[in-house]
Amino acid sequence: MQKSFFVLCLLSASFTPIYVGVVFLGFTPEHRCLSPGVAELSSRCGWSLEEELNYTVPEQGRHGESFSSQCRRYDVDWNTTGLSCINPLENFTGYGNRSSIPLTPCQDGWVYDSSGSSIVTEFNLVCEDSWKVDLFQSCVNAGFFLGSVCVGYIADRFGRKLCLIVTILLSATSGVLVAFAPSYLWMVIFRFLQGLVSKGSWTAGYILITEVVGPSHRKTVGILYQVAFTVGLLLLDGVAYAIPHWRWLQLTVTLPCFLLLLYYWCLPESPRWLISQKQNDKAMKIVDYIAKKNGKKLPAHFQNINLEEEDGENLSPSFMDLVRTPQMRKHTFILMYIW
């Protein structure tokens, strides 16, 4: 069981880049408008970067309006001949007053003060398009919401193990597609698909590990399973520091997930699910194997165990069950508050 628990903790840790990866994938460095002709003028005049910014980039708060120097540039032609290296703007003001020079949006792109890359620098998700970074993460969250509902049904219908393997494969595949996305639109679509199945795989792993252990150990393994997610956070920080380019970072944290497909041979199916499907023989083989590994002997009455339904009637579970009794209401509200 220790082996099964350890390998499932790897799944929990691998979920971290999907959940919080936007911090690194969507990093927004300092930036300014790309002004045609400025680079040539700066080279001719021998300016330092500080001098170039002082001479050619608007200062925030000028012109009596609130604007960012990151999203506006002087509406001038820097290729004009005869510009001074001491005060190049005097050719356009007449009186040396910068505030009289009109501003224009960054029509020719941006210059980013970063040696790495992110989805922000590649797709220019700044200024008027900065909301697209939030949309990128919102699509993941929307996938989490829909996937949690759908994958829960699949895990109940077809088994925890099969659900786990399929969602891991789809999550890893969509993660690779994100890294090779040719445009922002495709990147968002692939990210949504990854969210759709990744939260389901994490949840299926959680259900599987808590159903395999005894009731007295479920809280412990549940907490440790989420501790593994925290360890994943620390590892992600180091990997992102070492790989400052978003496509390579996305591949680096995604490709190892294909190794989790080995769960097919490493993990047992949930005995509780097998019993609920009236597959007692398979369930007893798994339970007997676990008992032998723990140095225990399986009691004889376990061979005839089954999940009895209350009052002999078929249960019809619904969302109302979450608030039907005081104990369930308490647990539901506590979990809602925590999330």
How does residue 206 score in pLDDT terms, banded at 50, 70 and 90? confident
Cβ-proximal residues to 29 (8 Å cutoff; 6+ apart), any chain: 112, 113, 114, 118, 120, 121
How does residue 302 score in pLDDT terms, banded at 50, 70 and 90? low
| Among 58-67, 142-151, 320-329, the least confident range | 58-67
259, HSE (Cβ side, Cα atoms, 13 Å): 10
DSSP string, 2-70: HHHHHHHHHHHHHTHHHHHTHHHHT----EEE--TTHHHHHHHHT--HHHHHHHHSPPTTGGGS---TT
Inform me whether the pLDDT recorded for 314 exceeds 70: no
What value does the mean pLDDT of the chain take? 83
Asked whether 153 and 61 are in contact (CB, 8 A), the reply is no
**Can you tell me the mean pLDDT for 327-336?**
93
DSSP state, residue 120:
H
Inform me whether the pLDDT recorded for 61 exceeds 50: no
Among 24-28, 68-72, 283-287, top mean pLDDT goes to 24-28
Inform me whether the pLDDT recorded for 77 exceeds 90: no
More confident residue, 325 or 200: 325
DSSP state, residue 111:
E
Cβ-proximal residues to 148 (8 Å cutoff; 6+ apart), any chain: 199, 200, 203
How does residue 134 score in pLDDT terms, banded at 50, 70 and 90? very high
How does residue 84 score in pLDDT terms, banded at 50, 70 and 90? confident
Asked whether 187 and 120 are in contact (CB, 8 A), the reply is no
CA distance 244 to 263: 31
Domains of the chain: 1-27+128-267 (1.20.1250.20), 31-113 (no CATH)
Q: Please report, rounded to a whole number, the percentage of residues in the chain having pLDDT higher than 90.
A: 35
Tokens standing for residue 228: 């593994």
How does residue 45 score in pLDDT terms, banded at 50, 70 and 90? confident
Alpha helices (runs of H) in 124-269, residue ranges in sequence order: 131-158, 160-179, 184-212, 218-242, 246-254, 263-266
pLDDT of 310 reads 43
Inform me whether the pLDDT recorded for 97 exceeds 70: no
Distances (CA, A) of 55 to 44, 50, 190, 243: 14, 9, 43, 34
State the angle between helix axes of 184-212 and 218-242 in degrees (0 to 180), rounded to the nearest 10.
150
- Three-state secondary-structure class, residue 227: helix
The H-or-E segment that residue 110 falls in is: strand 110-112
pLDDT of 181 reads 95
Asked whether 270 and 161 are in contact (CB, 8 A), the reply is yes
CA distance 299 to 296: 9
Q: For residue 255, how many other CB atoms are within 10 A of its CB?
A: 13
Q: Please report, rounded to a whole number, the percentage of residues in the chain having pLDDT higher than 70.
A: 88
pLDDT of 311 reads 45
**Can you tell me the mean pLDDT for 297-310?**
61
pLDDT of 64 reads 42
Pick from 75, 72, 52, 48: nearest CA to 62: 72
Pairing of strands 31-33, 103-105: unpaired
- Residue type (1 letter), 295: G
pLDDT of 312 reads 45
How does residue 103 score in pLDDT terms, banded at 50, 70 and 90? confident
Q: Give residue-wise pLDDT tens across range 109-132.
A: 888 888 889 999 999 998 889 999
- Residue type (1 letter), 48: S
Neighbour-count burial of 299, counting CB atoms closer than 10 A to its CB (0-12 exposed, 13-18 middle, 19+ buried): exposed
How does residue 63 score in pLDDT terms, banded at 50, 70 and 90? very low
pLDDT of 160 reads 87
Inform me whether the pLDDT recorded for 230 exceeds 90: yes
pLDDT of 305 reads 63
Q: Give residue-wise pLDDT tens across range 244-273.
A: 999 999 999 999 999 999 988 888 888 888
Asked whether 177 and 131 are in contact (CB, 8 A), the reply is no
Q: Give residue-wise pLDDT tens across range 8-32.
A: 889 999 999 999 999 999 999 988 8
